[in-house]
Amino acid sequence: MNNYYTCSSSFSGEYNKVCDQIVESITDYILQFDCDALINIHCSIFSNTVILSGVVGQINRTIPYEEIAKETLRFIGYNNDVADFNCNTCIFINNIRTDVNWFAEDIGSGEYGSAYGYACNETTDFMPIAQNVAQNISVITFSKMQKQELHWALPYGRCQVSARYEDGKFKCIDSIVYSIRYKDVKDPQDIIPDITNICNIATLGYEVDKNCRFYVNPLSDIPDTFGVSGIKAVENAYGSYCPMGVNGYGKSINYCGRYGTYMARYIAKNFVAAGACDAMTVQLAYTAQWDKPFEISLNPINPEVSVKELKEIADITFNYNGKAIINNLDLRETQYLPYACFGQFGRPECNSPWERLDKVDEIKESLR
């Protein structure tokens, strides 16, 4: 029986990802002065306008919100009118509240919801193949743009990758969609060789169907749109392979959307790396005011032992307390902007603390 999993990845200039990068740039700026600051901010952009909202509490300094946002836009490439969004002329509206009188440490998990994590043994970094390929396409595109190797490329774009599975096992890459805005091109076919090269590099080492469907800009032009932070969390995690709950974009490290999501990945990856199962989804369910989950669910594929036994091993191996997670995963020392685009997980170049495999030996010992 054939099944298909599809994952997408937005380029750095896709408007929703622009918003994610702006709020994470602001978050990083604040955390360098106070790693326990209360932060819960949101961003939206449209028609050359940037709007910030939310709360930042108990910070005894002036935050240069507008300067941070404009510098983020400039780095992405939105610094002229050709790119449809110009950091030099955009309108900036700041609706962030700073009159709250409570601290991040007072909010427990900070919100209601479930944090999800996933890992599988399809790749060396324990990520699903379609997600890996989609992220690779985005990273390679951005790298080439930074090196000015794609003279025609504008920042806005996205890609989509579908993988075919037979009897639960990866078979091949079945289709790739690549959409991007461009400039100074007389014939759209002229950009096909560059895009084909990017996709060939991104799929190296993976089986690609000989009849793989390859679409470039299936719409003649990508329609204008607007962006909101946080709504691309699924594609920036595991795509269609795993549910997505709360996320941490623009939030303090004390919110479960931040630390719970990283912890769930950490648990799943260590179990899969230990050979306890072929894949695992972890759900940590939180309620506000509690700094640890009230429900913990493990959903393994082809487990070596029962789910009950895996849960017992998890309870012995991992500390679910929010403050312990923040300390053990070094979340106070982490910069979050690099994860606002190109994926939060399976990024070996980032040396992410939640990607560590330091519990593998302990889990293996418990499995004996």
Q: Do domains 2-10+129-227 and 16-103 have the same CATH topology?
A: yes
* pLDDT over 90 (residue 101): no
Q: What is the pLDDT of residues 245-264, one digit of tens each?
A: 888 888 888 888 899 999 99
Q: Return the closest-CA partner of residue 249 out of 85, 350, 111.
A: 111
Determine the 3-state secondary structure of 40 from DSSP: strand
CA 188-194-195 angle, 5° bins = 80
- Strand ranges, E, within the chain: 2-10, 38-46, 49-57, 79-80, 85-86, 91-97, 113-120, 153-166, 169-182, 208-216, 227-228, 279-286, 295-301
Q: What is the pLDDT of residues 21-61, one digit of tens each?
A: 999 999 999 999 988 888 999 999 998 899 999 999 877 88
- Collect contacts of 351-358 with beta carbons under 8 A, ≥24 apart: 353/262, 353/329, 354/262, 354/263, 354/265, 354/266, 354/269, 354/329, 355/125, 355/265, 355/266, 355/269, 356/266, 357/269, 357/270, 357/273, 358/270
CB atoms within 10 A of CB 174: 20
* pLDDT over 70 (residue 329): yes
* pLDDT over 60 (residue 320): yes
CA 236-301-241 angle, 5° bins = 20
Q: Return the closest-CA partner of residue 195 out of 132, 139, 137, 156.
A: 137
- Collect contacts of 192-200 with beta carbons under 8 A, ≥24 apart: 192/216, 194/144, 194/149, 194/150, 194/152, 198/137, 198/140, 198/141, 198/144, 199/137
CATH of 113-121+254-367, one of 3.30.70.1350, 3.90.79.10, 3.40.50.620, 3.30.300.10: 3.30.300.10
Q: Which amino acid is at 109?
A: S
State phi, psi for 3 to the nearest 5 degrees.
Answer: -130, 155
| DSSP class of 316 | H
Its CATH architecture, for the domain 16-103, is 2-Layer Sandwich (3.30)
Pairing of strands 2-10, 153-166: antiparallel
* pLDDT over 70 (residue 143): yes
The predicted pLDDT at position 57 comes to 83
| Model confidence pTM above 0.75 | yes
Return the domain boundaries, the chain.
Answer: 2-10+129-227, 16-103, 113-121+254-367
Pairing of strands 38-46, 169-182: unpaired
The predicted pLDDT at position 61 comes to 85
**Mean confidence (pLDDT) of the chain:** 91
**Dist. CA 295–CA 45, nearest whole Å:** 36
Q: Which two tokens stand for residue 93?
A: 């509206």
Determine what percent of the chain is predicted with pLDDT higher than 70: 95
Its CATH architecture, for the domain 2-10+129-227, is 2-Layer Sandwich (3.30)
Q: Return the closest-CA partner of residue 353 out of 243, 253, 232, 231.
A: 253
Location of structure tokens 């709504």: 231
The predicted pLDDT at position 339 comes to 95
Please state the rounded mean pLDDT for residues 104-111.
59
- With contact defined as beta carbons under 8 Å apart, do 7 and 130 qualify? yes
| Max intra-chain CA distance, the chain | 65
CB atoms within 10 A of CB 141: 28
Alpha helices in 208-306 (DSSP H): 256-273
Q: What is the pLDDT of residues 165-220, one digit of tens each?
A: 999 899 999 999 999 999 888 888 999 999 999 999 999 999 999 999 999 987 65
* pLDDT over 80 (residue 223): no
Please state the rounded mean pLDDT for residues 130-139.
96
CA distances from 330 to 110, 323, 334 (A): 19, 11, 7
